[in-house]
A and B are shown apart, each in its own frame.
Chain A
Amino acid sequence: MPDKTDKTDDIELRLLLDAICRKYHYDFRGYSLASMKRRLTLAKDHFACRTFSHLQDRVLHDPSVLPRLLSFMTVQVSELFRDPSYFQAIRQLVVPHLRTYPSLKVWVAGCSAGEELYSLVILFREEGLEERTLFYGTDINPEAFQKAEAGVYELDRIPQFTENHRRAGGKSSLSDYYTAAYGAAIFDKTLRRRAVFSDHSLVTDAVFAEVQLISCRNVLIYFDRPLQDRAVGLFKDSLTRRGFLGIGAKESLRFSADANAFSEFCRDNRIYQKQGGAV
């Protein structure tokens, strides 16, 4: 078969993404296809569908399929203080700058079940910045940010979280922040006092606040280049001058259309600073 012909399942995959976009306004068309195809193949098996076309038929005619399908389509893998050196760098290098602001806004874009946001709230509390900060956690998957709002994690994840927190230079004991019950760790609701979780899409939504710090790690890798550009443009427009952007350890702004709007602030931990000049 000539290489130029799309394979049938690739045609079906694109039609499925198109159908979900038209019917439900979740636009995954600019996502990296290799990973999306893997996750939708798992979904196809889960829903006992033979083909992506069959799955398309299901989701178009049965809206109750959508929430479960979204959980396959969005990647929800994180930890508290994942990559401790990133949080070390926030603490040691970024916090001294943030201290100079009378009030702060922090945006965790793609907050999933809230691990990254809670990590930052705890760090800000330890550094005495929590009271002057508002934390936004956004995600496209309502199930994810409902989990984030609940702040409940399986107890067997706690040893890893605790070790990460310690290696991130934690100044308190992580056990101060949760209560263990029935195999779960319930994080203290005072951590959510200054947090707002909401539905926001980097693909289709616009700037909603002016913020001093954005953390968006391991989200851009699921986007194709044009969509990465859109998201980075949104970050640029949301940050105050000299504001900070943290991305994933294997992500880079190097090829982004807005690369020039940022300078490398901490290269090893992929923290960028928005340029102060006219940009």
Chain B
Amino acid sequence: MSGGAATVSSPSESRARAVVVGASAGAVEALTAILPALPESFPLPVLVVVHLPAETKSAFADLFNRQCRLAVREAEDKEPIRNGTVYFAPADYHLLVETDLRLSLSSEEPVLYSRPSIDVLFETAADAFGAGLIGIVLSGANSDGAQGLRAVMDAGGIGLVQRPDLSRAPAMPQAALDACPGAAVMTLQQISAYLEEFVPR
């Protein structure tokens, strides 16, 4: 495994406007290494899709709201995206970004058996934020997120992928890397450190 970090622009030279994150099996562990570390002054919105069984009340927003310094909420339909806020997709709904930078929910068909779908979030966010988007694919056992990360990078955004060999479930980050050879491969600590550099000093 070679650290692909050399290809990624440093936070100071990027015009990042938002972060999207996708995680599946192993999500709690991976997100726990990233979200609580973000300081109150983190300037970007963070949109997160985690795969959950449909009937789960999405406890993730509550769980992380207690652990995070940023406000963590479940996304609501048509709400304007605020900086410095973490939004989780509700269970059983896709989360999309409108070009006027509002959030939308949808109960369309699952994509790759998943609703919410990481691809749907990433593709619509890439459309709305263009080169200003950072896409992060974390641990997971399927291939959701690979096409989405590709869309992020095709739009000029930045792709970060958790090191598959250090992921609880390596299939998803590996699929993302296969689809996006230009993405940076990082440990959770490196992803966390990368994001912290966006904080204005």
Contact = CB atoms under 8 A, between A and B. Distances in A.
Interface stretch (A206-214, A218-226, A238-246): A218-226
B110 to A, nearest CB: 9
A38 interface: yes
B99 A10 contact: yes
Interface in B142-173: none
B93 interface: yes
B106 interface: yes
Nearest to A217: B107
A12 B71 CA distance: 37
A222 B104 CA distance: 8
Contacts of B128: 34
A182 interface: no
A216 to B, nearest CB: 13
Given A33-B98, A34-B99, A34-B127, A252 B76 contact: yes
B78 A255 contact: yes
B151 to A, nearest CB: 11
Interface SS of chain B: mixed
Interface in B101-120: 104-109, 120
B106 to A, nearest CB: 5
A258 to B, nearest CB: 16
A157 B78 CA distance: 31
B104 A248 contact: no
Contacts, number: 60
A38 B107 contact: no
B124 A75 contact: no
A35 B78 contact: no
B129 to A, nearest CB: 10
Contacts of A166: none
B105 A250 contact: yes
A39 interface: yes
Contacts of B98: 32-34
Contacts of B93: 221, 250
A171 B99 CA distance: 47
Contact of A221 (B77, B97, B123, B127): B77
A37 interface: yes
A66 B77 CA distance: 29
B133 interface: no
Contacts of A39: 108
A32 to B, nearest CB: 5
Contacts of B90: 249-250
In this complex, which of A225, A250, A252, A255 has the most chain B Cβ atoms within 10 angstroms of its Cβ?
A250
Interface string A185-207: 00000000000000000000000
Closest 10 CB pairs between A and B?
A: A34-B96, A218-B107, A34-B124, A32-B104, A35-B106, A221-B77, A34-B98, A221-B105, A250-B105, A75-B108
